[in-house]
Amino acid sequence: MNVKLSLTVNGKAVAAEVDPRTLLVQFLREHLRLTGTHVGCDTGQCGACTIHLDGRAVKSCNLLAVQAQGAEVTTIEGLAAPNGDMHPMQAAFKECHGLQCGFCTPGMVMSATALLKDNPKPTEEQIRAGLDGNFCRCTGYHNIVKAVQSCAAGS
């Protein structure tokens, strides 16, 4: 028994019929083919699936698609400027080598942008605490923290 779903994703109106069991992350990846949002776990802990829902960073594996009814969703694909210029956080990650395999990266960038929105001048400790819900197995976080600091300093 499918249910009707309509929402805005990366600025575009989207309407679909989905199995009510569909997770938001599955809806994004499998229905909309927005594969930039990743799945790294099945327990809501790794943060690879982080997106913005009405401006807040959320783990899209922890929500049903129907819970995004009427919402504004932004994924990593929607973060760059319409002309393709990277968002300052994306640019800072590149500049500071804040990514290696890239798998945690979309979620990390979405969390980091939300973090700076709430706290534009965080301390290192606040950055580390703020990214506590996003695992990275590659970078040791050192350069991720640097990227967030550099983005905060630039904005």
Partner 1 sequence: MGANIANGIGASALRKEDQRFLTGAGNYTDDINIPGQTYACFLRSPHAHAAIRKIDTRAAAAAPGVVAIFTGEDLAEAKVGGLPCGWLITDVNGQPMKEPPHPLLAQGKARHVGDQVAVVIAETYLQAKDAAELIEVDYEVLDAAVDVATATQPGQPAVHDIAPDNVCYVWGHGDKAAVDKAFAAAAHVTTLEFRNNRLIPNAIEPRAAVAQYSRSEDAYTLHVANQNPHVERLLMTAFVLGLPEHKVRVIAPDVGGGFGSKIFLYAEETVITWAAKRVNRPIKWTAERSESFLADAHGRDHATRAELALDKDGKFLAMRVHTKANLGAYLSTFASSVPTILYATLLAGQYATPAIYAEVTGVFTNTAPVDAYRGAGRPEATFTVERLVSAAALEMGIDQAEIRRRNFITSFPYATPVGLTYDTGNYEATLAAAMKIADVAGFPARREEAKKRGKLRGLGYSCYIEACGLAPSNVAGALGARAGLFEAGEIRVHPTGSVTVFTGSHSHGQGHETTFAQVVAERLGIPFENVDVVHGDTGRIPFGMGTYGSRSLAVGGTAIMKALDKVIDKGRKIAAHLLEAADSDIVFEDGNFKVAGTDKQVAFGQVAFSAYVPHNYPLDRLEPGLDETAFYDPTNFTYPAGSHICEVEIDPETGVVRVVGYTASDDFGNVINPMIVEGQVHGGLAQGIGQALLEQAVYDPDSGQLLTGSYGDYAMPRADDLPNFKVDTQVTPCTHNPLGVKGCGEAGAIGSPPAVISAVIDALKELGVRDMAMPATPHRVWQAIQSARA
Q: Compose the 97-126 pattern: x for residues touching ligand FES by CB under 6 A, - for all others.
A: --xxxxxxx---------------------
80 binds, among ligand FES, partner 1, none (CB under 5 to 8 A by kind): partner 1
26 interacts with ligand FES by CB under 6 A = no
Decide if 99 contacts 129 (C-beta within 8 A).
no
Q: List the one residue out of 23, 41, 31 whose CA is nearest residue 103.
A: 41
State the Cα–Cα distance between residues 84 and 78, nearest whole angstrom. 10
Binding site for partner 1 (CB under 8 A): 19, 21, 29, 33-43, 45-46, 48, 75-77, 79-80, 86, 90, 93-95, 97, 99-106, 109, 124-125, 127-129, 131-132, 134-145
Residues that bind ligand FES (CB under 6 A): 39-41, 44-49, 59, 61, 99-105, 136-139
